[in-house]
Chain A
Amino acid sequence: MQPREDAMSTLVEPTITVGEPHFGRLTPRMAAWREELLDTPQSVCVERAMLTTETYRIHQDEPMVLRRALMVQNVLEHMSIFIEPATLICGNQASANRAAPIMPEYAMDWVIAELDEFDSRPGDRFLITEDAKQQLHDIAPFWEHNTLKDRGLSLMPPASRTFYDLGIIHPEGNITSGDAHIAVDYGRVLREGLAGYRDRTEELLTRLDLTDAVQLKKSYFYRAVLITIDAVVTFAHRYADLAADLATTEPEPGRRAELTEMSRILRKVPEQPAETFHEAVQAVWLVQLCLQIESNGHSLSYGRFDQYLNPYYSSDLATGRTTPDQATELLTNLWLKTITVAKIRSWSHTRFSAGGPLYQNVTVAGQTPDGRDAVNPLSYLVLRSVAQTRLPQPNLTVRYHRGLSDEFMAECIEVMRLGFGMPALNSDEVIIPSMMSKGVAEADAYNYSAIGCVEVAVPGKWGYRCTGMSFLNFPKTLLVAMNNGADPKTGTPLATPVKHFTDMTSFDELMQAWDVTVREFQRHCVILDSACDIALEESVADILCSTLVEDCLGRGKPIKEGGAVYDFVSGLQVGIANLGDSLAAIKKCVFEDRTVTAAELWDALATDFAGERGAQIRQLLDAAPKFGNDDDYVDTLLVEAYGSCIDEIFAHTNTRYGRGPIGGRYYAGTSSISANVPQGASTMATPDGRRAGEPLAEGCSPSHGADTHGPTAVFTSVSKLDTERITGGVLLNQKVSPAMLRKPEDRAKLVMLLRTFFNRLHGFHVQYNVVDRATLLDAQAHPERHRDLIVRVAGYSAFFNVLSEATQDDIIARTEQTL
């Protein structure tokens, strides 16, 4: 999904609120802390870097898994800790909130190269002190030719490396940071405590026959697990001590009692099983945090939060230990903690993940394993608390299913009305059968959760990156196919030459060239993915994460060596709609209507539609059928062309194939995050009329402004895609005007629209952005970019573009009031 980049900087309280907001307000202390966090600039913390370097220097001789465990131990035992005055739960990722730790073992080249620009980037700025820069310079030599990225690059075969160097295939995130894109089994952590995992590991370790080399190798992993568990427990106890110390000097009796209780809780969890809601939330947070200290991969997700935590909430409610308001405050506290976690990425990767998102997903609703509606009182509290904090994190996903009540959906729409793009809806109706068809057990399929944004996996049983492997730029692939297999910009040969577009005499020849080229490109994706995966497996195992994912302990190896029960991955195909629109425009203008010759089109693309003829050609291309309008002309072309790539994707396996997990395979995925922007920036003009450098379409959404027939047509077009095989996520972002959400009867119709999409058309995902004032102002200034923008009044709806300026002004003014 496209996170709301501006959410952090432009959050304002509703200007007109008659009475209380629907979801109530944050408690004063959480409100004040939220403001403080929003005012806190992002910065860089070097503690993790220095402590890691220290461990790696001393323990270069240790097996990699033990070195990783000792690193986590050193960091958790020695990093700075603090307890904020407002918080009820403890755990900080770095020496300050919103400070990103540098994790040198993944990559240091970009850190050093970009050090002086961290605080002057065009976006995602990070403050850094001169002292911190010096410390990083000091450790840099140790990491030369000694990082994950170095290893990954050297493992890339030369022919595939070209694709990386030219930016056609983008696995940057995979070798400059850790994996993540995973949810662990928090339910089990709460039920058994880490002590339960420790007992199991000790038992397994004692049973090993170390004369067997395979078992000897397992012993290193088990010892690493024990070190890591103890490190997390020590970390918790450090907070218990700190809270107790603070309590002794705390003058205010209420806060003193809280600190005393926090100290008690952290002495107990996450080591021992949780018994109260407060204990459970604390345990989840501490583990969620440690996983993000161990690795800086993102999309580390909470899983089915309402399911595993509701027993603790319900029981506390029954015994009077908590109230809904107290529980809500605790949840908002957790979300504020969630937003303190930061990640700094290389500038080239930042552009693929604008807004510094960590994509820590919380999933609610869905069904129980026996197919009943799983909504419980805590599901409502999650909506309420997320609505109160109104922050880009956590990423909230609601699992839709046929039996989801209108009442709960109405609450979801109330959250949407707040205009921060949440919740996303994922549909059980297509995801569960799709998983089961790939060999996932029924009970597990019913227990899936969203990971990061739109992608899905079974928490605690699934390996990393159910999506998030390489990004493949579809329009650029098409241009190479048209250019006889060579990169149009550099002339570098990239694929088997078929024929140059200007020599093609039929549309079928183009489809043939596309088929050859995209299959070859996809094979390079797999090669690059595997090179990265080998490097990750050999260099940076995550011991804590592996401990909490079945069946790593049973198999005695980390996730990356095949420890997970399931291990399916997907890359990200970017520019889906541009591909369909380009093919349709070529077919229509060049081969059917013959209004443009192939040579003219190629020239127009090369010159970015320069000159009068260029402009004419662009207009002709614009007028061709576009994806998102329920027009089979273009929709079927897209399905066929994407199908070539998907066939190839399904032909390949990942590095865990045959090593334990069910799967070890690929499927397709489209959750392009913000990759559509940089990938568009490096792509010349395309035959859909898109100008050079303009963003590509996001996910499976229609190209910007191309869907002029309303949401039912968009849903129907998207539903024609091969959703069954795009398990990595069929991402669809939709806009809705606030007026559409003002009246209950209209909101009810939106629910009907969604139910049709999911129940009847096998929709996978949809997320609504409420059109805000800024968008309307932009539409007024640049109508060509907002051809799809529909506004409504009772009995009438109209495209925004055709309204007079005065009427547009009126709508803009009223939009501000609603939000």
Chain B
Amino acid sequence: MVSKVSSNVGRIFDIQKFSLHDGPGIRTVVFLKGCPMACAWCSNPGSQKLQVVQVADGLHPDLHGPDSRDYALDEVVATCLQDLPFYEESGGGVTLSGGEAMVQHRFTSSLLAALREQGIHTAIETTGYAAPAIFERILGEVDLLIIDVKHWDRDQHRRWTGVDNDLPLQNLRTALAAEGPVLVRIPVIPGVNASLDDATAFCRLLAPMGVREVQLLPFHQFGERKYELLGWDYAMSGVSALHEEDLGPYMAVFREHGVRAFV
């Protein structure tokens, strides 16, 4: 199965139209399978594995179906093009997300090229965990890079995501040094990185790198049921969701360090 994935075939678990929070304007998000991280709070747990997994049907839990399938490049491009008028009117476009969109980097590159050929604005949402050469190449192929910083501390990063943060931070520096726009995002997770000390530490890490703006993604439980459908354990079970109004003091810390934080 995996061998089929190539520059012309991508393994995709969802193509979501009318996405509003993944770059400017009205966008279509292409969610690619496979992720080198295994974040405890991941809201798309099925997306972590590159291989297709079976999930219980949300409406009929006794039924099982594949969480994803392989798409030919042309099919993905055609689906994205269906909403071209909306991109043009709103200044939107297509965002590649995951999983980690750089896992299937050959497909990602050819999809980005095909979309840009159609004049469509492109963005990528990445964990930053990719080989520097691949990261740098894709950075040059995309109009907007959206990169997560999951934790400021190397060990904590490893504890909660399965990998340490050396590579993402190295790639972040590369991205910041390049010319294109970069948006840094921090998922704010209770018990992981949501304390005010965490906020201070994030600032001390990011401000010297030249980051002036971060988007905070308050923890939500939208993925909870997916673990159930997959039959997987869920570390964040029962943890309350955060909402924008809960993040006031956290955002204030960023402000004090000269970094604009928004939700």
Task: Name A's B-contacting residues (CB within 8 A).
Answer: 630, 709-713, 716, 740, 746, 749, 752-753, 755-756, 759-761, 783-784, 787, 792-799, 801-804, 806-807, 810, 814
Contacts and interface: CB of A to CB of B under 8 A. Distances in A.
Contact of B228 (A756, A792, A799, A804): A804
Contacts of A753: 18, 26, 86, 90
A711 B18 contact: yes
Interface string B54-82: 00001100000000000000000000001
Contacts of A755: 89-90
B90 A756 contact: yes
Given A753-B90, A801-B59, 10 more contacts: A712-B26, A752-B92, A756-B88, A783-B59, A794-B263, A795-B21, A796-B220, A796-B222, A803-B224, A804-B225
B83 A712 contact: yes
Contacts of B222: 793, 796, 798, 803, 807
Nearest to A756: B89
Contact of A796 (B21, B90, B92, B215): B21
Given A756-B26, A795-B185, A801-B59, A810 B221 contact: yes
B19 A802 contact: no
B18 A710 contact: yes
A751 to B, nearest CB: 9
13 contacts: A749-B20, A749-B26, A749-B90, A752-B89, A756-B88, A793-B222, A794-B263, A795-B185, A796-B21, A801-B59, A802-B225, A803-B225, A807-B222
Contacts of B243: 814
A806 B221 CA distance: 9
A193 B90 CA distance: 48
A712 B89 contact: no
A797 B18 CA distance: 10
A756 B20 CA distance: 15
B159 to A, nearest CB: 23
Contacts of B20: 740, 746, 749, 792, 797
A799 to B, nearest CB: 8
Contacts of B217: 794-796
Nearest to B15: A709
Interface of B: 16-22, 25-26, 43, 58-59, 82-83, 85-86, 88-92, 185, 215, 217-218, 220-222, 224-226, 228-229, 238, 241, 243-244, 263
A709 B16 CA distance: 7
A752 B25 CA distance: 8
A533 B154 CA distance: 81
A132 to B, nearest CB: 52
A756 B91 CA distance: 11
A802 B58 contact: yes
Contacts of B89: 752, 755-756, 759-760
A810 B238 CA distance: 12
Contact of B85 (A756, A787, A803, A804): A756
A795 B263 CA distance: 9
B53 to A, nearest CB: 15
A57 B30 CA distance: 75
A787 B57 CA distance: 12
A784 B57 CA distance: 12
A716 B79 CA distance: 12
Given A753-B26, A801-B58, A802-B226, A793 B83 contact: no
Contacts of B17: 709-710, 712-713
A553 B139 CA distance: 73
A239 to B, nearest CB: 51
A797 B217 CA distance: 13
> Which of B25, B59, B85, B92 counts the most A-chain CB atoms under 10 A from its CB?
B85
Given A756-B90, A760-B85, A806 B224 contact: yes
A802 B222 CA distance: 8
A749 B90 CA distance: 7
A118 to B, nearest CB: 42
> Which of B26, B220, B222, B244 counts the most A-chain CB atoms under 10 A from its CB?
B222
Which 8 residue pairs are nearest across A and B when measured between Cβ atoms? Answer: A752-B90, A760-B85, A710-B18, A756-B89, A804-B224, A804-B225, A807-B221, A802-B58
A803 B221 CA distance: 8
> Which of A749, A755, A784, A797 counts the most B-chain CB atoms under 10 A from its CB?
A749
Contacts of A801: 58-59
Nearest to B125: A795
B58 A783 contact: yes
Contacts of A802: 58, 225-226, 229
Contacts of A804: 221, 224-225, 228
Contact of B224 (A710, A756, A796, A807): A807
Nearest to A791: B222
Contact of A752 (B22, B26, B58, B228): B26
A766 to B, nearest CB: 14
Nearest to A807: B221
Contacts of A760: 85, 88-89
A712 B59 contact: no
Contacts of B229: 802
A801 to B, nearest CB: 5
A710 B16 contact: yes
A804 B234 CA distance: 13
A796 B215 CA distance: 13
Contact of B86 (A712, A787, A803): A712
> Which of A630, A783, A804 counts the most B-chain CB atoms under 10 A from its CB?
A804
A815 B221 CA distance: 16
A776 to B, nearest CB: 15
Contacts of A795: 21-22, 185, 215, 217
B235 to A, nearest CB: 15
B58 A794 contact: no
B43 A796 contact: yes
A630 B78 CA distance: 12
Contacts of B21: 792, 794-797
Nearest to A751: B90
A630 B82 CA distance: 8
Contacts of A716: 82-83
Contacts of B224: 803-804, 806-807
Contact of B25 (A709, A749, A761, A806): A749
Contacts of A803: 221-222, 224-225
Nearest to A793: B220
Nearest to B221: A807
Contacts of B241: 807, 810
Nearest to A748: B90
A144 B195 CA distance: 82
